[in-house]
Amino acid sequence: EAEQGFCPLDEASLVAYIKATPALASRLGGALDSITIREVGDGNLNFVYIVLSDAGAIVIKQALPYVRCVGDSWPMTRERAYFEASALREHGRLCPDHVPEVYHFDRAMSLIGMRYIEPPHIILRKGLIAGVEYPHLAEHMSDYMAKTLFFTSMIYNTTTDHKKGVAQYCANVEMCRLTEQVVFSDPYRVSKFNRWTSPHLDKDAEAVREDDELKLEAAELKAMFIERAQALIHGDLHTGSIMILPKVIDPEFAFYGPMGFDIGAFLGNLILAYFAQNGHADQANDRKAYKKWILKTIEESWNLFYNKFVELWNKHKEGNGEAYLPDIFNKSDLLSLAQKKYMINIFHDSLGFGAAKMIRRIVGIAHVEDLESIRDANKRALCERATLNCAKAILKGRRQYENIEQLSIELTENT
Ligand code: ADP
Ligand code: SR1
Ligand code: MG
Ligand code: MG
Ligand code: MG
């Protein structure tokens, strides 16, 4: 890498980097001779180091100029680290309880130093695979989504401020294009990146590529993803981006996009976890009670999000937001009608994006551990087919749902 000021770090050079960086050294209590470093990146894109000393701990994340899970044949801008650090700071300001603190950001090095979320806190996806119930998950995630999305929308902000934010994050275009390709395009065409459980799902993958109605719906969502600058979204809010406290990590895809892309990522990944449970069931645990808990969490997450978002709207209705001006929305029944319309649209968007994200995890490039960890290919294929059929039905029929309970009844009846 010839670019000025950048070099990919390894365990040894990271020690030297930390010693030369007071904002990081101080977090380790100055006990720099006792440092141990472990690379733990299990994501698709970046390198993540846990740095421990006798007196403290930090996490260092570095973006290299390519997609990690593919290799240097897929170049990718290191500027993603800048957008990740910016979104961590912005979302952290709006929702400090659920975002890790950024200690240090080095744009030339594409490097972020942040709070270490220590054991026993784990990635939510791992907990869902193990069958662990998190009674406060819906409460906390609805809080995160309501605050980050409401306070970065035009309901709360002036259009001038909103467009400033839009302009800043517009430059995260390479990351958006990655999503456009792997979520909205590749699953619907032949691509060398696609894979699925074969030969079991060969026909199912082909059916996705030949389903005109599905392709029209996916194209509509793709356009919305590109065109709708509704709020500063995380952009990759799957259950691998949530560490249970919860804290939300990894917003490198952040930009001003449709709120439903975040809400749908979270709900869609819970539905993926739901369909994977049959593959994890064994004699000791049939996972039936756990599946009920997942459905309850899906319902509560949406319903609590709805209530909290509208509550914030009512609280700030006389503020600077320019989408619904107080002298126009001056009657409470008119405002509540506007809110109902706004929320039902977000609901349908969330269902659509959630379904699209489920489909890409079955027939696209990046799969999820929930399903991948089912070793028996026959069993896995059955779970995957059920997931895919459910996602296709949701994507096509999303506008028919009036509430989340309808979806959870359908999920119960069909599995
Ligand atoms: P990628 O962008 O490559 O997906 P992530 O930000 O998701 O990288 O991080 C990859 C892994 O590193 C996570 O799954 C988690 O195990 C670990 N990790 C990341 N950030 C932290 C943190 N702040 N504290 C503890 N572990 C972390
Ligand atoms: C090459 S696709 C890699 C995927 O991993 C990231 O976390 C995003 O979900 C992206 O689509
Ligand atoms: Mg990640
Ligand atoms: Mg990432
Ligand atoms: Mg996804």
DSSP class of residue 398 equals G
What would the pLDDT profile of 44-58 be if each residue is shown by its tens digit? 999 999 999 999 999
- Please report which ligand is nearest the Cα atom of 88: 1
User: What per-residue confidence (pLDDT) applies to 30?
Assistant: 78
Testing ligand 2's pocket by substitution, the residue of 225, 233, 236, 237 carrying the most ligand atoms inside 8 A of its CB is 236
How many A from CA of 27 to the centre of ligand 5?
33
Check if 250 has its Cβ closer than 6 Å to any atom of ligand 1. Answer: yes
How many A from CA of 42 to the centre of ligand 4?
10
Check if 235 has its Cβ closer than 6 Å to any atom of ligand 1. Answer: no
Closest Cα to atom 6, ligand 1: which residue? 250
Closest Cα to atom 11, ligand 2: which residue? 179
Tell me the C-alpha distance between 257 and 231, whole Å. 6
CB 363 within 8 A of CB 278: no
How many CB atoms neighbour CB 203 within 10 A? 9
Q: Which helix (H) or strand (E) holds 205?
A: helix 202-209
| 3-state SS class at 245 | coil
Which atom of ligand 2 lies nearest, measured to the CA of 67? 1
Tell me the C-alpha distance between 278 and 282, whole Å. 9
Residues, CB-to-ion distance under 5 Å, ligand 4: 43, 45, 250, 252
Residues, CB-to-ion distance under 5 Å, ligand 5: 238, 357
> Could you report the predicted ipTM of this complex, rounded to two decimals?
0.98
DSSP class of residue 123 equals B
Testing ligand 2's pocket by substitution, the residue of 64, 76, 172, 182 carrying the most ligand atoms inside 8 A of its CB is 182
Domains of the chain (ranges plus CATH)? 11-115 (3.30.200.20), 124-413 (3.90.1200.10)
CB-based contacts of 170, cutoff 8 Å, min separation 6: 255, 256
Check if 42 has its Cβ closer than 6 Å to any atom of ligand 1. Answer: yes
How many A from CA of 322 to the centre of ligand 3?
34
- Please report which ligand is nearest the Cα atom of 48: 1
User: What per-residue confidence (pLDDT) applies to 19?
Assistant: 94
| 3-state SS class at 247 | strand
User: What per-residue confidence (pLDDT) applies to 2?
Assistant: 52
Q: Which residues, given as ranges, of the chain have pLDDT below 50?
A: 1
How many A from CA of 45 to the centre of ligand 2?
7
DSSP class of residue 80 equals H
CB-based contacts of 125, cutoff 8 Å, min separation 6: 238, 239, 240, 242, 269, 273, 368, 369, 370
User: What per-residue confidence (pLDDT) applies to 1?
Assistant: 46
Distance of CA 38 to the CA centre of its chain: 25
Sort 161 into a burial class: Cβ within 10 Å, 0-12 / 13-18 / 19+. Answer: middle
Tell me the C-alpha distance between 201 and 207, whole Å. 10
Tell me the C-alpha distance between 376 and 365, whole Å. 20
Check if 197 has its Cβ closer than 6 Å to any atom of ligand 1. Answer: no
Tell me the C-alpha distance between 397 and 36, whole Å. 52
Q: Which helix (H) or strand (E) holds 60?
A: strand 56-62
Closest Cα to atom 9, ligand 2: which residue? 236
Which atom of ligand 1 lies nearest, measured to the CA of 47? 3
Tokens for 78, please give them.
């290191």
